[in-house]
Amino acid sequence: MKRRLAAFVAAAAAAGSLPVVAQGNTAYADKFAANCVACHGAQGRSSMALTPSLAGQPGFYAITQLFLFRQGRRDNPVMSAVAQGMPDADMRGYAEAIAALPAPPPPEARGDEARLQRGKALAAQHRCASCHGADFSGDKQVARLAFQREDYLQQTLRAFRAGKRIGYTQAMNEALASLSAENLDDLAHYLAHYERAP
């Protein structure tokens, strides 16, 4: 399965990396608006509990996640039903539409100072920026973390630590194995409030 996922993403890369939706081509932007915003929010900015914002996610990341849902490698009944049987062309089209969405703005509230400091130290200690970018905006098949919903980050980090969620590799499972639940919550708080953190 890992080889198939790697081959699929490699083929997408060989096609010239996932381009943003071409100007004037709104087919998948319209499909995203019709099929995705009820859960993921207008412009991909979620206001639904435990549901990720998709705005600003790299195209490779989006297509990789759709592939994992289609193959039953991620556990979410709604998304699995959406992706089941989805043709490669549709996965690419939705990924392009997601990649074209502007990144979410930083939160208005600064967050808890002590938790921000602990989260910042954890992010540095565990070298989160080495994969997710210095500004945590993600790249290729690696997720954008900055300004993501805090509750979704908490849930996701815990699932990776428990081995219940997989990524493109097992790097996340290994990186989080030694962290406590409180550590994960502080890390999620820091990433959700990243630009406001000192």
Q: Which domains does the chain have, with CATH numbers?
A: 2-100 (1.10.760.10), 113-196 (1.10.760.10)
Q: With beta carbons less than 8 A apart as the criterion, state whether 76 and 68 touch.
A: no
Residue 18 confidence (pLDDT) = 40
| Cα–Cα distance measured from residue 98 to residue 122, given in angstroms and rounded to the nearest whole number | 29
Q: Please, what's the b/e burial string for 51-86 (b: 16 or more CB within 10 A of its CB; e: otherwise)? A: bbbbbbbbbbbbbbbbbbbbeebbeeeebbebbeee
| 116 Cβ contact list (under 8 Å, min separation 6) | 110, 189, 190, 193, 196, 197, 198
pLDDT mean over 10-25: 46
Q: How many CA atoms lie within 13 A of 39 on its CB side?
A: 12
pLDDT band for position 166 (cuts 50, 70, 90): confident
Residue 3 confidence (pLDDT) = 61
pLDDT: which is higher, 2 or 185: 185
| Cα–Cα distance measured from residue 154 to residue 179, given in angstroms and rounded to the nearest whole number | 12
| Cα–Cα distance measured from residue 15 to residue 182, given in angstroms and rounded to the nearest whole number | 42
Type of residue at 22: A
**pLDDT above 80 for 184:** yes
Tokens of 115: 């938790």
pLDDT mean over 169-178: 94
Type of residue at 109: A
Q: With beta carbons less than 8 A apart as the criterion, state whether 188 and 146 touch.
A: no
